[in-house]
Amino acid sequence: MDILQVKNLSKKFRVKNKKDFIAVDSISFSLKEGEILGFLGPNGAGKTTTIQMLLGVLTPTKGEVSYFGKNLKDYREEILEQVNFSSTYTNLPWRLTIRENLIYLSYLYNVKDRQKRLKKLVDIFHLDNLINMQISQLSAGQLTRVNLAKAFLNFPKVLLLDEPTASLDPDVAEYIRKFLINEQRQFKTSIVFTSHNMAEVEEVCDRVIFINKGKIVADDTPEKLAKTIEICHVELIIKDGLKRTIEYCQNHGYQYKLSGRNIIVDVKEKEIAEFLRGLMDKGVYYDGISIEKPTLEDYFLQNL
């Protein structure tokens, strides 16, 4: 079942004395119940503009956003009670403490059993020692955790998470990723997820949409998108014949990166055997080899 449906959504901004700027150009996609959808693209691609329209804080020029089969424009209140978000481009009131922020927001969402919910979120996001601190006193990582706690306040059915693990220590980021996957499995929460960390997207997302210059350029699973890239990274630790290896790469048009005696060569998967045989023929000896298959990052770098 589609929880979120976006149809021909466009946003055009007027620019004084210039041609109108089309930030989002007639995009359509859907989000299934319990699905985590990566929404990716380079800076200025239209991600933030789209998310703002999905939250109803930016009026689309054209198109329609529907949640649970209902139009956001006509059922705004009912829908937004079941949606939440976390973003790096908004702040919580900096004079208020974490507790005060969560309390006032819990009234906005009419959260039942308020104290119990707050305690649970404080435990999940390890905010116990910070709860009475003002937002202005928090570090970037602590703020990210508060924003996530805020995002889960109303037991959302749909979550829009913009860079949810930005500024977090690796162990905390890993904990958050596991928590998101658990929420998805346990409560069938549907999540739209943006991140610049492609490894994270591959770990968390069921499906990925790439957006560029306001248009959707790809919509598939991370694995299938990565598979469209033929190039693998072959890393060799050269024992003897580094110069010959470089010459071989140059003569055959292989891209490479050199670091001491380590060389990483970009080779098409089906040409790896031929490449290694070619090096052997040139009398190159290597101590170690690792072959890295194409990733979502490779897709991103090659296509966007």
Residues that bind another protein (CB under 8 A): 13, 48-49, 52, 55-59, 76-78, 80-81, 83-85, 87, 89-97, 100, 103-110, 134, 150
Cβ at position 198, least distance to another protein in Å: 25
Q: In the chain, what are the helix, strand and coil shares in percent, each to the nearest 5? A: 40, 30, 30
Three-class SS state of 137: helix
Chain CA centroid to CA 93, Å: 26
User: Smallest distance, Å, CB 253 to another protein?
Assistant: 46
Is residue 274 classed as helix, strand or coil in its secondary structure? helix
Beta bridge partners of 85: 160
Q: Which residue, 105 or 304, is less far from another protein as judged by CB? A: 105
DSSP state letters, 249-270 = HHHHT-EEEEETTEEEEEEEGG
Residue among 160 and 225 whose Cβ is closer to another protein: 160
Shortest Å, Cβ 190 to another protein: 16
Smallest gap from Cβ 139 to another protein, in A, equals 18
Q: Which is nearer to another protein, 3 or 236 (CB)?
A: 3
State which residue, 5 or 61, has the beta carbon closest to another protein. Answer: 61
Closest distance between another protein and the C-beta of residue 257, in Å?
38
The minimum distance between CB 105 and another protein, in angstroms, equals 7
- What are the backbone angles phi and psi of residue 184, rounded to the nearest 5°? -60, -45
Return the number of the residue (16 or 270) whose C-beta is nearest another protein. Answer: 16
In the complex with another protein, which residue's Cβ is closer, 106 or 295? Answer: 106
Alpha helices per DSSP H over the chain:
47-55, 76-80, 98-108, 114-124, 140-151, 170-187, 198-204, 222-227, 242-252, 272-281, 296-303
Q: How many CB atoms lie within 10 A of CB 254?
A: 20
